[in-house]
Amino acid sequence: MQITQFFRRHPMEIILIVMFIFLVFAAPGFATVNNQLNVLRNITMQGIIAFGMTMIIVSGEIDLSIGSGVAFSGCVTAWITRELVDVTGPFFAITMGALTAMAILFGIGVLTGKLRQHFNMPTFITTLGLLTVLSGAANLITDGFPITSFPYEFNFLGSGYLFGIPFPVYIFITLFALVYFLMNYTSFGRSLYAVGGNLEAARLSGIDVWKTKTLALGLTGVFTAIAGVLIASQILSGSASAARGWELDVISAVIIGGTSLFGGKGTVRGTLIGVLFLGVIVNGMTLMNVSEYWQYVVRGGLIIGAVWMNHALDRKVKA
């Protein structure tokens, strides 16, 4: 009885574990420490953004621009580094670049929120436009060629190991903890749910609904910039073609994790499961030599299946 209850409440966890066990036996090389660390490193960048995206979607909005946002912030960081490195030295230049990228994407998130508040511009439309704008801006900065201004030491951020674990994983865990805290233990987090669950009821209860949504959009901008800097570090350059199409992977992870696209419902813990789920599947299929085209088909099918299951179980739990 309790086991069925647990299964109904945590279906994705169970499926993740079952799939994990399956891959241990079916996929050669899956169960090695190296491969597991590899999976972890591969999911960190998208995972970081998915945590922010969870806040946005719970508040009833969406951000489709993050793919270009990642590329843009990598390019901004690389460009500022190139301009400053001779004057200030690499450490300060890179720091300045990264902070500038975070500030710009935070500002763009806030602007998106303001457009929603004052002109009733759907974030779906604004961020769809921004997806193209930021991609264009990244190409303008780089003039079409990757900027390779980073010193080799910078590679540590994206590819280095600390105590045997890839460095980005620490950032991944820290940001997960931060978002978990924000969503569960702050009035901002509670407001996210209220605002996404019923905007007017939240407003009439004295909640600053626009500040809440705007802050979620701005914070996700910062997370996107962090992911952009990590990617730039991994490929040791600012490239306008990095992270193309990420928005769909990130939103998929959030949805697989049980967050409702209509807002008001979802957890960042679920998103973590969704991110792990996608990471493990992609890794497992690659190890099993499944063709890349088939991988797309399977991933897409899994997204539909996961959403269908969440809905079906939701109804059962209610009844």
Partner 1 sequence: MSAIVETQGLTKVYGNVVALDKFTHRFEKSRIHALMGKNGSGKSTLVNVLAGVVQPTSGQMSLNGKDMHFSSPADALNANVVTVHQELSLVPELSVAENIYLGRMPKSHFLGISKIDWTSARTKTKILLEDMKLEIGPDAIISSLSVGQQQTVEIAKAMSFNPSLLLLDEPTSALASKEVEMLFRLLRRLRKQGTTMMYISHRMSELAEIADTVTVLRDGKHIGTVEMAETTNSDIVDMMFGNVAHNRPAERVSQADPNNAILKVQGLSRKPAYEDVSFELFKGEVLGIAGMLGAGRTEVLRSIFGADPFDSGEIIVDGQKIKDPDPQYMTEIGLGYTPENRKEVGLVQAHSIHNNLSMASLRQNAPLGIITKAAERPGVIKQVDNLHIKIDSAEDPVSSLSGGNQQKVVFGNWMNTNPKIMFFDEPSRGVDVQAKQQIFKIIWDQAEKGLSSIFVSTELEEMLEVCDRILIMREGRMIGELDPSQTTLTELYTACMEGL
Task: Report the distance separating Cα 306 and Cα 31, nearest Å.
Answer: 25
Within 10 angstroms of residue 169's Cβ, the number of other Cβ atoms is: 17
Residue 286 as a binder of partner 1 (CB under 8 A): the answer is: no
Q: Which is nearer to partner 1, 13 or 208 (CB)?
A: 208
Pick from 30, 106, 154, 193 the residue near partner 1 by CB under 8 A. Answer: 193
- Name the strand (E) or helix (H) holding 165: strand 165-166
Which residue has tokens 């998103």? 271
Pick from 108, 207, 272, 276 the residue near partner 1 by CB under 8 A. Answer: 207
Q: Considering only 22-30, 129-137, 203-211, 233-241, which stretch makes contact with partner 1 by CB under 8 A?
A: 203-211
Between 228 and 267, how does the x/- string for binding to partner 1 read (CB under 8 A)? ------------------------------------xx--
CA 257, 258, 261, 266 torsion: positive or negative? Answer: negative
Which residues face 238 on adjacent strands?
Answer: 147
Task: Report the distance separating Cα 195 and Cα 60, nearest Å.
Answer: 7
Q: Considering only 63-71, 76-84, 166-174, 195-203, which stretch makes contact with partner 1 by CB under 8 A?
A: 195-203
Q: Which is nearer to partner 1, 112 or 191 (CB)?
A: 191
Q: Which is nearer to partner 1, 202 or 275 (CB)?
A: 202
Q: Which is nearer to partner 1, 192 or 236 (CB)?
A: 192
Residue 8 as a binder of partner 1 (CB under 8 A): the answer is: no
Q: How many residues bind partner 1 (CB under 8 A)?
A: 22
Residue 154 CA to its chain's centroid (Å) = 22
How many residues does the structure list for the chain?
Answer: 319
Shortest approach of partner 1 to residue 215 CB, angstroms? 11
Please, which of residues 133-192 interact with partner 1 by CB under 8 A? Answer: 185-188, 190-191
Residues whose CB is less than 8 angstroms from the CB of residue 95 and which lie 6 or more positions away in sequence, other chains included: none
Q: Alpha-carbon Rg of the chain, whole angstroms?
A: 20
Residue 252 CA to its chain's centroid (Å) = 10
Shortest approach of partner 1 to residue 205 CB, angstroms? 4
Residue 216 as a binder of partner 1 (CB under 8 A): the answer is: no
For 42-57, the DSSP string reads: HHHHHHHHHHHHHHHH
- Applying CB under 8 A, the residues found at the interface with partner 1 are 185-188, 190-191, 193-194, 197-198, 200-208, 264-265, 318
